[in-house]
Structure 1
Amino acid sequence: MDRESVKYHLKSILNSYSEIFFIENYKIGLVLFLVLFLNPNMAVCGLTALFSAYIFAKFLNMEKEFLSSGFYTYNPLLVGLSIGFLFKLDPLTIFFTVTSGILTLVLSVMLHSIFSYYLKLPILSLPFVIISSTIYLSVSNYTNLFVNSLYPHFKISILENVFPYWLEGYFKSFGTILFLPDITAGLIFSFLILLISRILFFLSVLGYYSGTIASGLLTGSLIQAFQDISHFNFILISMALGGIFLIPSVKSYFISVVAVLSSTIILSATKTFWAFYGIPAFTLPFNTISLTFIYVLGLLGFPLMAKIIRKTPEETLDFYLTNIKRYRGYERTLYLPFSGKWTVWQGFDGKWTHKGGWKYAYDFVITDKDGRTFKGEGLNLDDYYAFRKPVLSPVRGRVVKVISDLKDNQIGEVDKENNWGNLVIIQDYRGFFVEISHLSYKSIKVKEGDWVEIGTFLGLCGNSGYSPQPHIHIQVQLTDNIGGATVPFSFVNFIKDNHFYSNDLPPENSIVEPIFPDKSLELKFSFVLDNRFEYIVLKDDEEIDKFELTVKMSPDGTFYFDSGSGKLYFGKYEGTFYFYKLEGDDKYLKYLFLSLPKIPLAYREGLEWVDYLPLKLTSNKIKISSILFLSSFNHNIAQVKYTGKFIDQKSIKGRVESKILNYNEEFFVEIDQFLGIKEIKSENFIIRLNKITYK
């Protein structure tokens, strides 16, 4: 086994320890591993169960991606710790621990498959609860274990009576998460969480004290409540809901408190019932409450559910805040159904007809410089600028319905019987339907069954149906019914006031114009696997460094630049090239991301666009972590804005700025005539392409 392989396996095992606190960090895992040796017997049992599960997973050929995070192996670790907490290490308990660890792994894989597919839920530490409870029930029949393997616990009394009872209770409960119910362990664990995530630490405090004070009020004794180490469940519930499975925010913090208060009932009932069988509550209240809340919130479509969970709540929040600004539109994307400049007459939830089940729709008209839609007195259809202008397909798909034989209304009249007028309904290949309505009498040139591409001529704008003046009505629906209930969508690749919008919804009364990808520019950003780019770094016209980037592909099909010390993911979507995310701390990949986070693949002189970047690109981890903690209370605090502009067909000027970080930097980017970026100029240095190797 080579050095890299050993390093990988060690990281995977150590990640199992940090996963107990919902984070993936092998360094934190190492510290937790060492602290557990405050009880060597328990630490070895935990490691034995973990190692057994890991070896069995390798035997079953589980892929690296499934094992590296520790997700599947932290439950076996917890089971091993629970055995080591009860029994001392001897041949009998080693056998018992090995089999229990393997059984927990199998159950974890099974539950994850069922929960993720059918319920859209995580498994949390449910396998640990099931297996450990089963073990504690079964050992009553194992006389040998009780005779030979019970042992007295060593108590660390260094910090006893140093802290007030309400602080001692917090630290002891924190330590109990890893079966070390003493102040020293809890102090270390809580300090580690504070180092890695201010948000998780805050939630641990919020959850513990809200739950413990509530329990104290219910029982009539705060002192007794603070002595109850099973209140570690409150810490886990608060951390899971407030910072992991929900986007950290005031709302998530409030939900976490409500969940903790609710769990006091579950905890009390669990302790009463389980005590009859001599079983501790373990994390059953945490699992019950957390899974219930996550399921209900997901069912209701709660907007702050974390769809992508990063290594810490801060990273999840940064990713969320960046993406809601970067990708403002929806997955159902349309091109504008016309050429030239048109005006948004009515948008989503418009003031006239876009209401209720039909609120997700857009109407477009053509206006003159005075904002009028017609010339003269506007008494005739021909007076209206939009009348009989070409209507183009906004999507690729199959035409499924056409109506073309309804007369255009004269001005002042509407057809109340045929509300939608002449229309075309297209079934988009992505699984939805697009209806374009109010077309002109017998102007439609496609028929049912025809395949259309983006920009295919459909017909002419008219005034048929319930239409007071010539306009284009467009909506997206999930059925092919005429005038079906609408669903959200957005438009891609359009210009407003010479600003490019990659995926957005133009406001009412704005003048918009579609822009289509330029093939030559598209080719310059079409990178192929194993393309290699050699760059040199210059400062004051002297070479100070060099680096190499190789195009590779991740398991999910996303391409990235690999520098050896970092990965910069990229891709093209609907006519825009994006750098998606950066992994690692490679400073040159960071500058590549900063200088050109996205570029429209269509040129227009002086065209400008705006993008937003992750905070981690612009400052150190400690400062960013603090800012993100504050941002969890107000999502508008953290913002890194990029503004780009075409100087000419091969040159781009970009500026990155953030007020809260006091960051402001300007970049000049030159596009290579064949492929990629030729040069990046900043205040610090110049990055220049030296050589391209094609594979």
Structure 2
Amino acid sequence: MKIKQFIKSILNSYSEIFFLENPIAGLLFLLITFINPYLGISGILAVLSAYLFAKFLNLEKEFLESGFYTYNALLVGLSIGYLFKFGILTLFLVFISGILTLVFSMFLYSIFSYYLKLPILSIPFTVISSIIYLSVAGYTNLFIDALYPHFNILVLEEITPQFLSGFFKSLGAIIFSPYVFTGIIISIVLFFISRILFFLALIGYYIGAFTIYLFKGSFYNVFSDISSFNFILIAVALGGIFLIPSIKSYFIAITAVITSTIVLSATKSFWSFYGIPVFTLPFNLITLMFLYVIGIVGFPYIAKIIRKTPEETLDLFLTSQKRFQGTERGIHLPFAGEWTVWQGFDGKWTHKGQLKYAYDFVITDENGKTYTNEGLNLTDYYAFRKPVLSPIRGRVVKVISDLPDNEIGTVDKENNWGNYVVIYDERGFYVEISHFAQDSIKVKVGDWVEVGTFLGLCGNSGYSPQPHIHVQVQLYPEVGSPTLPFSFVSFISNNEFFSNDLPKEGEKIKPAFADRSKTNKLSFYLDNSFIYEVFIDNKKIDEFEMSVKMAVDGTFYFDTGKGKLYFGKANETFYFYRLDGFDEYLKDIFISAPKIPLTSEKNVIFKDFLPFKLTTSKILKDFILFIASFNHSVGLSKYEGKTINEKIIEGKVYSIFSKKPILTKLELDDVFGIKKIKVGNRTYKLKTINFGG
């Protein structure tokens, strides 16, 4: 395993140059560098020195495997191998430069990630390579290799049209192999791994080249300038890596490329005075400036999780948009039993302007009426003096309880909120619950309340024409403060389970409380391991083991060695979040029930969405996602589930390319874990549990 990890780390250093985490692509890029043996040896030596020193420093395994900290060292090694004559002294320079670049990368990453929330890109490479180029002026034992011929395939150079050779040479120049042949190989690799990356590389180069042509008036000069690789890197980084691939990200990428032409010309003029190439300085400057500004203005398409390809990032984004539509300000319903939404966000009557983010609840009968008899008395109303519960855990900061309840037909216009409680949530907001019955509030300022704590009774105080519960989330503790968007953690409406969502006006809803037994069965801990037997049509074909591991960010996942299935609990729901790698068994576990309501209620239906990668072939998936980058409304695969009882969930998976659904079934164990899973004709049965520790 250590050798495998080592090889993967080295290869990922090469693929990381093109924003990929793909060992196969990394191997191809490594082989390309060995077309010029001196270049190849220098590159791999720099990576090895950085890797070994990182191991000496006990750097996290995940960072080592990704190549994140070592690709800058690789670029420095390649730059030295390209410029200097091969020899023992040059190799020594490569070795120490690799270590220096690693240390500088770690130093820079700690500053950029904490203070600026920005990636370091290839700044370490640009800085260290520039330092080395400046320093060699005083090193008489190092010989500049500019006079020595480099590898080239002249036939390709001669037969390739200039407008294509310029693109291929610029691609090759990214790994210091500015030749048509290397550019062709890199283009093929990019195309097969990511159509979005290839598309961005093309438009980045040619838009940048055309802009330069407008200034210079000569295509020959434009296509002969290999420093145009900066245009490619800018377009790829902004169009598909750090931003979600979309029309907007493509527009930003194009804009950035056009503006970078000025920076490229300026840096070339300035750097040439010292005899230093521009390296990736224009790419770093423009990309970081754009990312910083985009972050400040709150651009909605910033990639919060960057996957191995832009297609995977887009797939996760589109799915997450559908799966998790609520807000981070999730609160529970402030009541028990079934109530009706009387008024929601931006409602018909009072929820307007800065007070629009609020909900009103009443109780209605089968005829939709909120009262019995004639509705002339407060006691006729079903909601009057019903318990009001705390929707959050927090500290009570304001209470008013002595205002009288209005008689039906009158309202208190002077005390709009009536009797109320304001609670501070440590997530950084306040919740106000209003219109309590007179003298019914049982909490006081300073009290700590948990979710479900009894606060008081529903009343008709303040500007309230009939008894109801008013709840809102606000920025400040004062009543009447500007309200903020929020969502309800979980509820059931018309026998359908919703999590982190908002009900519609007129809907009857009730809280969906998590069942403790069901929650405990799905409370997996570090180093728990499970062995499952795999059957097809009741014939055993295999068995596999999956273990619970924890990522560096604290999230948990099932690990089989071939893939990682991330999971967690939120909003009274157990979720499978995403699948990394290519494991057919983990894929089946995911689609068998992408989310599991923790309620014990029977015959409750619920809906979810699945990533394309789980239900579509790779070729078709990548094509769809390329199209989806231009139109995010492309349909997703859907899941419909039903809780048969507290242990069994049956579901159907609907792919957008198949009319016939995939039938699924998941059964929880009596004590702990998932006992049985069925997806199509494949069945998984729990054989052994090892609790670890």
User: What TM-score, normalized by structure 2, do the two folds share?
Assistant: 0.94
Aligned to 2:68: 71
Pick from 369, 376, 386 the counterpart of residue 389 of structure 1: 386
What is the alpha-carbon distance in structure 1 between the residues aligned to residue 4 and residue 204 of structure 2? 36
- 2:238 is the alignment partner of 1:241: yes
The answer to whether the 8 Å contact 1:476/1:486 transfers is: yes
Q: Describe the shift of the 1:681–1:11 C-alpha distance in structure 2 as closer, same or farther (beyond 3 A).
A: closer
Deviation, 1:516, is 0.9
Which stretch of structure 1 is more off in the superposition, 172-181 or 655-664?
655-664
What is the rounded CA distance, in whole Å, between the counterparts of 1:687 and 1:674 in structure 2?
A: 18
Instruction: Determine helix, strand or coil for the equivalent of 2:142.
Output: helix
Aligned to 2:415: 418
Whether the aligned pair in 2 keeps the contact of 1:86 and 1:151 (CA below 8 Å) is: no
User: In the TM superposition, what whole-angstrom CA distance separates every residue of 1:660-680 from its partner, at most 9, and x where no partner exists?
Assistant: 366720113333222233323
Matched, 1:276 2:280: no
Tell me the residue number matched to 2:149.
Answer: 152
User: 2:156 is paired with a residue of what secondary structure?
Assistant: coil
1:470-520 Cα shifts (integer Å, max 9, x gaps): 322212234333333333221112011111002112223322211211223
Q: Which residue of 1 aligns with 2:202?
A: 205
- Give 1:689's aligned amino acid: L
CA distance in 2, matches of 1:514, 1:17: 52
Task: Tell me by how many angstroms 1:355 deviates.
Answer: 3.7
Q: CA deviation digits over 1:244-278, x for unaligned, max 9?
A: 00011111111111111111111122122222222
Q: Say which is worse superposed, 627-636 or 136-145, in terms of deviation.
A: 136-145
Once residues 285 and 170 of structure 1 are traced to their aligned partners in structure 2, the CA distance between those partners, rounded to angstroms, is 18
Would the alpha carbon gap of residues 509 and 63 (structure 1) be closer, same or farther in structure 2, given more than 3 Å must change? same
CA distance in 2 between counterparts of 1:94 and 1:543 reads 56
Kindly provide the amino acid, as one letter, of the partner of residue 362 in structure 1.
Answer: Y
Aligned equivalent of 2:77: 80
In the alignment, does 2:415 pair up with 1:402? no
2:18 is aligned with 1:21: yes
Equivalent position to 1:253, from 217, 235, 250 = 250
The alignment status of 1:106 with 2:103, answered yes or no, reads yes
Task: Supply the distance in 2 between the matched residues of 1:552 and 1:58 (Cα, whole angstroms).
Answer: 21
Task: Find the residue that maps to 2:203 and give its secondary structure.
Answer: helix
Task: Please show how residues 472-511 of structure 1 align to structure 2 within 5 Å.
Answer: 472-511=469-508
Distance 1:291 1:78, change over 3 A: same
Q: Which 10-residue stretch deviates more, 87-96 or 371-380?
A: 371-380
How far apart, CA to CA, are the structure 1 residues paired with 2:138 and 2:461?
Answer: 82
Equivalences for residues 533-682 of structure 1 within 5 A: 533-660=530-657, 664-682=661-679
* Contact kept in structure 1, 2:85 and 2:142, CA below 8 Å: no
Checking the alignment, whether the CA contact within 8 Å between 1:618 and 1:663 is kept in structure 2 is no
Q: Which residue of 1 aligns with 2:223?
A: 226
Preserved CA contact (<8 Å) 1:388 1:461: yes
Aligned residue for 1:154, secondary structure, equals: coil
- 580-589 or 408-417, which deviates more: 408-417
Match of 2:333 in 1: 336
CA distance in 2, matches of 1:60, 1:673: 46
C-alpha spacing 1:630/1:679, structure 2 compared with 1 (3 Å)? same
- Larger mean Cα displacement after TM superposition, 516-525 or 410-419: 410-419
The Cα shift of 1:330 comes to 1.7
For 2:507, give the aligned amino acid: S
Residue 663 and residue 137 in structure 1: after superposition, are their counterparts in 2 closer, same or farther (change >3 A)? farther
Alpha-carbon distance between aligned partners in 2 of 1:416 and 1:525, rounded to the nearest angstrom:
50
Checking the alignment, whether the CA contact within 8 Å between 2:83 and 2:145 is kept in structure 1 is no
Q: Which moved more, 1:65-74 or 1:520-529?
A: 520-529
1:47 aligns with 2:44: yes
Shift of 1:426: 1.6
Call closer, same or farther: CA 1:290–1:407 in 2, change over 3 Å.
Answer: same
CA contact (8 A) 2:38 2:81 kept: yes
8 Å Cα contact 1:88/1:150 also seen in 2: no
Contact 1:490–1:503 at 8 Å: present in 2 too?
yes
Higher alpha-carbon deviation: 278-287 or 145-154 = 145-154
What residue in structure 2 maps to residue 438 of structure 1?
435
Q: Closer, same or farther in 2 for the Cα pair 1:97/1:547, shift >3 Å?
A: closer
Query: What is the deviation of 1:608?
Result: 0.1
- Any conservation in 2 of the 1:656–1:665 contact (CA below 8 Å)? yes
Q: Residue 199 and residue 662 in structure 1: after superposition, are their counterparts in 2 closer, same or farther (change >3 A)?
A: farther
Moved over 6 A (4+): none
Contact 2:85/2:143 (<8 A) preserved:
no
Relative to structure 1, the CA distance from residue 552 to residue 134 in structure 2 (aligned partners, 3 Å threshold; closer, same or farther) is closer
User: Which residues of structure 1 form unaligned runs of 5+?
Assistant: none
> Structure 2: any 5+ residue segments left out of the alignment?
none
RMSD: 2.3
Q: Distance in 1 between matches of 2:363 and 2:558?
A: 44
In structure 2, the partner of 1:308 is 305
Residue aligning to 1:525: 522
What is aligned with 1:294? 291
Q: Superposition pairs for residues 97-176 of structure 1, below 5 Å?
A: 97-146=94-143, 151-176=148-173
The superposition leaves residues 513-532 of structure 1 with CA deviations (integer Å, 9 ceiling, x where unpaired) of 11211223223323344444
Contact 2:83 2:144 in 1 (8 A): no
CA distance in 1, matches of 2:632, 2:681: 31
Equivalents in 2 of 1:108, 1:382: separation in Å? 70
Counterparts of 1:468 and 1:283 in 2: how far apart (Å)? 67
Partners of 1:264 and 1:501 in 2: how far apart? Answer: 50
Aligned to 1:453: 450
Q: Secondary structure at the match of 2:443?
A: coil
Of stretches 403-412 and 591-600 in structure 1, the one that deviates more from structure 2 is 403-412
Cα 1:288–1:660 change in 2 (3 A) is: farther
Q: In 2, distance between residues paired with 1:638 and 1:400?
A: 46
The TM-score normalised by the length of structure 1 is 0.94
Give the Cα separation in 1 of the matches to 2:207 and 2:433: 54
CA distance, structure 1, for counterparts of residue 73 and residue 689 of structure 2: 49
CA distance in 2, matches of 1:543, 1:148: 63
Distance in 2 between residues matched to 1:460 and 1:260, nearest whole Å = 62
- Deviations along 1:628-670, one digit per CA (max 9) or x if unpaired, are 1111112222411110012234332200011136672011333
Aligned mates of 2:203, 2:512 — CA distance in 1: 51
Measured in 2, the distance between the counterparts of 1:682 and 1:118 equals 47
Say how many residue pairs are matched. Answer: 692
More moved, 5-14 vs 134-143: 134-143
Contact 2:530 2:546 in 1 (8 A): yes
Structure 2 Cα separation of the partners of residues 550 and 389 of structure 1: 48
Report how far residue 372 of structure 1 moved: 4.2
Q: Cα distance, 1:338 vs. partner?
A: 1.0
User: Higher mean Cα deviation, 145-154 or 124-133?
Assistant: 145-154
Is 2:214 aligned against 1:217? Answer: yes
Hey, what's the Cα distance between the residues in 1 that align with 2:592 and 2:246? 30
